Structure 1
Amino acid sequence: MGLEEQWDRIRDVVSRGKRSTGHFAIASVDSAGAPHVTPVGTVYLRDDCTGFYFDQYTRVLADNLDADPRVCLMAVDSGRMFWMRALVTGRFPAGPGVRLYGTAGPRRPAEPAELEQVRRSVRPALLSRGGRLLWGDFTHVRDLTFTDFRPVRYPVMMSHLWQGVP
């Protein structure tokens, strides 16, 4: 099964990962070919195997993407109850994580709907001085287009999940 057929399941894993950790890992490649991983909390997925993230505080990631747009986004559900349930039952109730492979577009001004989406997700934090300093001035995004995925696997506890996915 391909990315499109699994997209709803992938979005569920990504959503749970964001709730449990507050961020994602985005991997890029620098000019020497070395990997670089950046934590980014403002990634949003759309319905069509694409997404975007707010390109703020990510200078090295931005420089890498300007030279080579390939990315890998990883989301992992690290919720205590999710893992406790899996450990007690010996079986994951859902996929524990996913890696999404694709490319990032050029930096562009955020659209009003994108700005509203990030404001909704950080609204409680904006009541604090630190929240306003960190998340009060987002202006630019990069679009993400995903072409492939790989689940995070623990085969002995998830043989019933991701059937038909290599």
Structure 2
Amino acid sequence: MNQTFTSSDFIVDCLEDFWKTNKDKFPEVTKLLLNFDNGGENSSRRTQFMKRIVDFVENEKIEIELAYYPPYHSKYNPIERVWGVLEKHWNGSLLDSVSKVIGFAKSMTYNGVSPIVKLVDKVYTTGVKLTEVEMSEVEKKIIRLTGLENWSVRVPCLG
């Protein structure tokens, strides 16, 4: 949860935090599959997002595959079901403070599992973009599935 804009940097910072905290639990993992809706901040055409994902792969030495749900197919996205459970959990409550929202999020369960909930205090800006030249260097490091270039992207670990 954050108190600022949801941006490409916010999403990748959260991924970095999660992986730093949990990678020792999964020493055999060599690839992460990330399923996304088509939010603007995590689009495979968002230059800052793709740069940050490539940087993550290079720093962590792990491959990432990005798989995007098509528009209007949120019913297949598990996170949408989690949101529905959270909304029912706090239904009728006045969400008048950050601590109350975090408390509800920490106390909910989905299929018997409680979510990891952290408040991000960093302030993010939106609209961070690479130049065409910078993005062409990023594109050299990613593989887009032919015919599904926007929906299926692999960032191999080359190091």
Highest RCO, 1 vs 2 (Cα 8 Å, sep ≥ 6): 2
Structure that is richer in helix per residue: 2
Q: TM-score scaled to structure 1, two decimals?
A: 0.28
Structure that is richer in strand per residue: 1
